[in-house]
């Protein structure tokens, strides 16, 4: 399993935003939408062995599960609509209960720290960071949980949380990338077994 956690710092936690203005009215939800599609979509199909967790407002986590996911299209707007539908179910997400809002998409009332502690039990938590160790020098782990931030850096509190569960801080590229580009390259790194030649 490959998991990606993306923290949305300005993202909405209610379903009242407009699909016509994802960068503005919806708090850069376009960034998170591109992360979801980068994580799942291949040219002819979907990566079933992937889960993506979007942390919204450090209050809700929306999880996309590749094995069950339906109706995911490549464009931002339709992905934003799936997120909006999940947020429309937020009041049913009580305690640890995950509410499935569409096939393979669910919402849970879970913050960043709670999510990471849960994922660290079965996976290897890796923080993607421009100043991390170059990934190219490492063999990829078998069940990676890549943690990324949206268009903002991690807060100090998030860094503290990460420090408690993170096996490695890795850099995928010599350039500073957008989160969705980093996800594409993380997949490529795993698809090629760390860019192995021959």
User: Given the rule CB under 8 A, which residues bind a copy of itself?
Assistant: 20, 22-23, 30-31, 34, 38, 41-45, 73-78, 130, 136-137, 151, 172-178, 181, 184-185, 187-188, 191-192, 195, 197-198
Least distance (Å) from a copy of itself to the CB of residue 54? 17
Nearest to 33, CA basis, from 157, 123, 150, 137:
150
Nearer to a copy of itself, 165 or 189 (CB): 189
Beta strand spans in the chain (E): 2-8, 41-42, 45-46, 50-56, 60-65, 99-102, 105-108, 124-134, 144-149, 168-171
Nearer to a copy of itself, 59 or 195 (CB): 195
| Spatial separation of the C-alpha atoms in residues 77 and 79, rounded to whole Å | 5
- CB nearer to a copy of itself: give 93 or 182: 182
The 3-state DSSP class for residue 158 equals helix
Closer Cβ to a copy of itself, 38 or 127, answer by number: 38
Q: How far is the CB of 127 from a copy of itself (least distance, A)?
A: 15
Query: What DSSP string runs through 33-80?
Result: HHHHHHHHEETTEE-TTEEEEEEETTTEEEEEETTT--S--SSHHHHH
How far apart are CB 44 and a copy of itself at their closest, in Å? 6
| Six token digits for residue 42 | 């291949």
Tokens of 7: 């923290």
Of 136 and 163, the one with the shorter C-beta distance to a copy of itself is 136
Lookup: tokens for 58: 């450090």
Shortest Å, Cβ 179 to a copy of itself = 8
Rounded to a whole number of angstroms, the minimum distance from the CB of residue 34 to a copy of itself is 8
Q: How far is the CB of 134 from a copy of itself (least distance, A)?
A: 9
Q: Return the number of the residue (23 or 103) whose C-beta is nearest a copy of itself.
A: 23
Helix (H, G, I), strand (E, B) or coil at 147: strand
């Amino acid at each position: 399993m490959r998991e990606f956690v993306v923290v949305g710092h300005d993202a909405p936690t209610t379903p009242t935003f407009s699909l016509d203005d994802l960068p503005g009215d919806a708090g850069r939800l376009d960034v998170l939408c591109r992360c979801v599609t980068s994580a799942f979509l291949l040219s002819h199909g979907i990566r079933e062995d992937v889960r993506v967790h979007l942390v919204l407002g450090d209050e809700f986590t929306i999880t996309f599960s590749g094995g069950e996911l339906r109706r995911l299209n490549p464009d931002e707007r339709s992905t934003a609509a799936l997120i909006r539908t999940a947020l429309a179910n937020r009041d049913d997400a009580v305690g640890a209960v995950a509410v499935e809002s569409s096939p393979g998409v669910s919402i849970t009332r879970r913050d960043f720290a709670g999510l990471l502690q849960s994922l660290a039990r079965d996976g290897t938590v890796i923080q993607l960071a421009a100043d991390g160790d170059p990934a190219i020098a490492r063999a990829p782990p078998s069940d990676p949980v890549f943690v990324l931030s949206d268009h903002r850096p991690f807060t100090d509190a998030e860094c503290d949380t990460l420090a408690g569960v993170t096996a490695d801080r890795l850099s995928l590229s010599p350039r500073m990338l957008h989160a969705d580009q980093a996800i594409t390259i993380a997949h490529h790194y795993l698809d090629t077994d760390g860019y192995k030649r021959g």
